Structure 1
Amino acid sequence: MKRFQRFELNTAGRDFAVGDIHGYFTKLQAALDAIGFNPAVDRLFSVGDLVDRGPESAEVDTWLAKPWFFAVQGNHEAMAYDAYHFDPDGRAGDLHVANGGAWMLGLPSVERGCYAALLADLPVAIEVVTAEGLVGIVHADCPYGNWPEFTWAIEKSGPAESEHVKAVAQWSRSRITDESHEGVSGVRAVIVGHTPVRQPAILGNVYHIDTGAWMGGHFTLIDLGTLQCYPPVNPKLNWDWEARP
């Protein structure tokens, strides 16, 4: 499994990131159409959680085959892999099903194995070169105050430390629950999802963009070159999702 992936400057088109998809690919396509996304030159980066909860999780393989679509591994991809490979007592499968993973449980074993392998191959972190500077993408949070330290740890540290860093990167909510504005050095911005918000929450240079498309909200797309959000952030609205699950 590759832990880290770097993308060089897109000289032909635009780069966007999108929040948690959770099996709502038709709704995602509508959001892309609304901003005039051009798959011939533009690229789309996902903060992970492509699957579970929504009705189209099985289409994840089709989307990951698109030459302009790239994703990090979220905690739901990790749960799907663990449920298939490391479930001697059934607990990992129960956790996955309780969090929307029943779609995969009902598939033939060979097909489940193909999905598990596909999701396991996603990197934990992505960085994208833009004309204005480097942008990092990770599912939940950057566990370090410095982006290069994080990418080194996720890729080159020992197995125990690497797994710990991966778990924090995929599961942590501490930055947003503490409303920490400290930010991450060594990178222009870090784009994350995981915690649903009514509109993007910008804490330091960390952009939380899971605006709950899977729970009745909408997809937020952020231009990595300009850091402009679509739809735009409304300064009059609180970002906190009052009915957060």
Structure 2
Amino acid sequence: MSFVQRFERNKVGRDFAVGDIHGHFRALWTVLGSIGFDREKDRLFSVGDLVDRGPDSEMALDWIDEPWFHAVRGNHEDMAIRWPSGNMDAAHYAANGGGWNVSNPRHAQLAFSWAFNALPIAIEVETEDGKVGIVHADCPFPTWRDFVVSLDDASMSNKMRKAVFEAALWSRERIQDEDRSGVPDIRALIVGHTPLKKPAVLGNVHYIDTGGWFRDGYFTLINLATLETIPPMPEQLDCAA
């Protein structure tokens, strides 16, 4: 399998990316309805973290099967992948929202593990103005090309691959350092992972997890053609809110 999934430009509809869903699929569907999302023409890309913390985590497999929905793997998918193998503490997993899966029967745990293990680490989407990348947390290489080539490098050691995956799924180094250097060989990089009060932009890296899974949060969508957010950004932010 490839850890990079590539999509040609959408010539018939719109492409959106959405921040972390965390088991709030019904609430997200309401948001999609408000923008007239057309399942026959439009596509929705997820920055990962489909599950945990919300009431609809069990719906993740149904959404993954939809032809208009495409997700990268997040750190919460990573935990669900590892859970059936028994190499994770149940209390720690539950504290991070995985209680719904801890209590699942074995066959259900395996179904989620297998499905999430098939998700790519990175997605590339062609737009009229250039390529947009999607990854859960960060691009851990100086260039996007170096990153995606590394993901499918069969000669890479297991230790190195684990380090690349961990950075892509878990790192907050860029936003903590307010690093504005960006990723030079891509139009934009869309990420989630770090919950913010408002979307933020560091160089060409767009952070869109605005806590749609919080009581006082909301889902941010970003139009991949225009890089405009829904709801609109009140101001151009260049650091975390």
**TM bracket (short chain):** over 0.9
Name 2:193's counterpart in structure 1: 194
Please give the secondary structure, in 2, of the residue aligned with 1:111: helix
Q: Following the alignment from structure 2 to structure 1, what is the Cα–Cα distance between the partners of residues 131 and 237?
A: 29
User: Is 1:51 aligned with 2:51?
Assistant: yes
Distance 1:145 1:117, change over 3 A: same
Name 1:3's counterpart in structure 2: 3
Provide TM-score, normalisation by structure 1.
Answer: 0.93
User: Is 1:162 aligned with 2:161?
Assistant: yes
CA displacement, residues 109-138 of structure 1 (integer Å, 9 cap, x when unaligned): 111111111111111000101111000000
CA displacement, residues 14-58 of structure 1 (integer Å, 9 cap, x when unaligned): 110000000000110111111111110000000000000001000
More divergent stretch after superposition (153-162 vs 135-144): 153-162
- Contact 2:221-2:231 at 8 Å conserved across structures: yes
Name 1:119's counterpart in structure 2: 116
CA drift of 1:145 comes to 2.0
Provide structure 2 residue ranges, at least 5 long, that are not aligned to the other structure: none
CA drift of 1:196 comes to 0.4
Figure out how many residues of one structure are paired with residues of the other and give that number. 238
What is the identity, as a one-letter code, of the residue corresponding to 2:114? A
What is the identity, as a one-letter code, of the residue corresponding to 1:19? G
Please give the secondary structure, in 2, of the residue aligned with 1:100: helix
Provide TM-score, normalisation by structure 2.
Answer: 0.95
Name 1:61's counterpart in structure 2: 61
Q: Identity of counterpart residues, as a percentage? A: 49
- Contact 2:23-2:53 at 8 Å conserved across structures: yes
CA drift of 1:68 comes to 0.2
User: Which residue, 100, 104, 108 being the options, matches 1:107?
Assistant: 104
Name 1:71's counterpart in structure 2: 71
Q: Following the alignment from structure 2 to structure 1, what is the Cα–Cα distance between the partners of residues 207 and 177?
A: 13
Name 2:40's counterpart in structure 1: 40
What is the identity, as a one-letter code, of the residue corresponding to 2:56? E
Name 2:22's counterpart in structure 1: 22
Provide structure 1 residue ranges, at least 5 long, that are not aligned to the other structure: none
Name 1:228's counterpart in structure 2: 228
